[in-house]
Amino acid sequence: MHRAKNLVWLLPLAVACGSGKADKPATPDASTTAFTYAPQGCAYTVSPPDTRAFIDQALDDTSAFTDANGATPQRVRIGLGGGTDSSKPGYADPSTTAVFTWETAASNHAAKVRFGTDPKALGEVHGGYSWTTPPPSVGLSTGNSNYMHEVHVCGLTPGTTYSYQVGGGPAGSEVWSAVQSFTTLPNTGKITVGIVGDARDKVGTWQLVEGRMRDGGAALQLFSGDIVALGSLENLYTQWLDAVWKDPNDATKFYTLGQQMMVAIAGNHENEAAQFYGNFAIPGDGPNAEQYASFDVGNTHFVLVDDQPIALQQGSDSATTILTWLDADLSRANANRAKVPFIVAVNHRGLYSTSLHSTDGDVLLTRSSVVPLLDKYNVDMVLNGHDHEYERSKPLKAGNPPSGAPTVGAGTVYVIAAGSGADPYSVGTAAVDYREKSVAFGNNTPYIGVYAFLELEGKTLTLKAYGLKASGGGVAGDDVLDTLQLTH
């Protein structure tokens, strides 16, 4: 039943991926090329690829607003910037770097953030850039453009709470957001990372999961893809981001958006749309910017990979670039285990699911390309979505062939935690020797979704997965579905 419902959304995706004629970005023009933003104090640059088709890209300026009311910053969010080569300066670091992204109702070039450790003394001011994300030129979602603004800030102090406002504009007539606050990731001590994925169907569930991220003390959220049902529909991002920007119980307060850093990687429903890349700040630059990234948090090296090109365009420049980068990144991380002992990878498709997508051709192609690299460098854990359930494997290595059943007994643990709003799938019920645990939500269970936390401390990495209940009570009122502790 649930697979049939999802086909309503997958049909346009299949058209877009198969014919290349639906929901493609607008054709780039001269204003989309050769733009580079060099953030103040950062050792990296930002050059959106031409394939995004962003237009009217401009550095912050103080020109008069055509529509001052339309200059009010909305849906302020925090992501991460930086390089993707851990051996070079400017490598992404969530303890010292933050990216502030927002949108406005009307086009303007105001792109500043002012910040400080005292909310009454926001003395640091950094400039950024703005752009317009145009709607697709054909197919679904041809409509209004989206006016985006972004500022990258480096050199922050780890484990420190900052207050900030975004906005800017002409002197004496600036428009600023309300004051929000966030805390940079610490380098030491216990660090909690929230794991979320597959929102796209029910905003109310997404809102509850985000409440758990706040109440559970997540220092960072990792999103494994499919935040919306169709990645080119900007109104869906607006709906989902609105739901977690302002507190649903008190519109004068903020919730998680703009308070917690979120680093997302695309799923199949994002469909490589420019709207996804415009809405979220992810490390990387160049032609394949934001399709892969990595960074260290405490004792763990996190690796994020967009598996859409790998699954659907094997042998393409994008797929080859991503896999070549993954090999090199994991090699450096494996050599650095004395300092950062754990390696955790994030991609959308469940590499060893036993649910509805377990034998899909695109999943098996992704498995055959990615798992040998995970084995080569002894990756500790993989976090996935795609199948709307909770599932954890036993330690595994690739089988022969790699697209087939795995070898059980040692290797990587694969976790699917995908229940932030998407309709539930059934879990696998047939005996499978590589499955350790599986839990469904919905369908007469006590749960309307699932989420998880990773706790990083010392030489341990602890996974805690929860069944989301609608009755309230926060994390303490939800059931612990699964726990796993790894030690190095």
pLDDT per residue over 238-284, tens digit each? Answer: 999 999 999 988 988 999 999 999 999 999 999 999 999 999 999 99
DSSP string, 299-334: TEEEEEE--HHHHHSTTSHHHHHHHHHHHHHHHHHH
Query: Which parts of 336-443 fold into alpha helices (H)?
Result: 361-376
Dihedral angle of Cα 208, 211, 212, 215, to the nearest 10 degrees: -160
Q: What is the pLDDT of residues 103-132, one digit of tens each?
A: 999 999 999 999 999 999 999 999 999 999
Tokens of 58: 């401009």
Query: Cβ distance 30 to 271 under 8 Å?
Result: no
User: Residue for token digits 């119980």?
Assistant: 249
Q: Is 15 helix (H, G, I), strand (E, B) or coil?
A: helix
What is the token pair recorded at 203? 């905003």
pLDDT tens profile 25-50: 343 333 444 799 999 999 999 999 99
Largest interatomic CA distance in the chain: 69
Between CA 146 and CA 153 the distance in angstroms is 23
Q: pLDDT at position 368, please? A: 97
- Angle (CA) 382 348 257, round 5°: 100
CB 255 within 8 A of CB 245: yes
Q: How far apart are the first and last CA of the chain?
A: 43
Q: DSSP state, 220?
A: E
Q: Give the strand order in the sheet containing 479-487.
A: 261-264, 220-223, 191-196, 449-457, 460-468, 479-487
Q: Is 190 exposed, middle or buried (0-12, 13-18, 19+ CB in 10 A)?
A: middle
Torsion of CA 271, 380, 192, 473, to 10 degrees: 80
Residue 354 CA to chain centroid, in angstroms? 24
Q: Dihedral, CA atoms, 228, 390, 372, 370, nearest 10 degrees? A: 0
What per-residue confidence (pLDDT) applies to 143? Answer: 65
What are the structure tokens assigned to 393, written together?
């494997």
- Domains of the chain (ranges; CATH) run 2-487 (3.60.21.10)
Residue 6 confidence (pLDDT): 37
DSSP 373: H
Burial of 335 (C-beta count, 10 Å sphere; 0-12/13-18/19+): exposed
Q: Which two tokens stand for residue 28?
A: 């780039």
Question: Residue 332's pLDDT is what?
Answer: 98
- Sign of the CA dihedral 375, 377, 383, 387? negative
CA distance linking residue 400 with residue 326, whole number of Å? 21
Contacts of 447 (CB under 8 A, 6+ apart): 419, 439, 440, 441, 467, 468, 469, 478, 479
From first to last of its 488 residues, the chain has per-residue pLDDT tens of: 333 333 333 433 433 333 333 334 343 333 444 799 999 999 999 999 999 999 999 999 999 999 999 999 999 999 999 999 999 999 999 999 999 999 999 999 999 999 999 999 999 999 999 999 998 766 666 567 899 999 999 999 999 999 999 999 999 999 999 999 999 999 999 999 999 999 999 999 999 999 999 999 999 999 999 999 999 999 999 999 999 999 988 988 999 999 999 999 999 999 999 999 999 999 999 899 999 999 999 999 999 999 999 999 988 999 999 999 999 999 999 999 999 999 999 999 999 999 999 999 999 999 999 999 999 999 999 999 999 999 999 999 999 999 999 999 999 999 999 999 999 999 877 779 999 999 999 989 999 999 999 999 999 999 999 999 998 789 999 999 999 999 99
Q: What is the DSSP string of 343-368?
A: EEEE-SS-TT--STTTT-HHHHHHHH
Tell me the C-alpha distance between 47 and 45, whole Å. 7
Note the residue count of the chain: 488
Q: Characterize 420-444 residue by residue with b for buried, 16 or more Cβ atoms within 10 angstroms of its Cβ, and e for exposed.
A: bbbbbbbbbeeebebbbbbbbbbee
Q: What token pair was written down for 325?
A: 């980068």
Strand partners, 181: 163
Which run of H or of E encompasses 235? helix 234-245
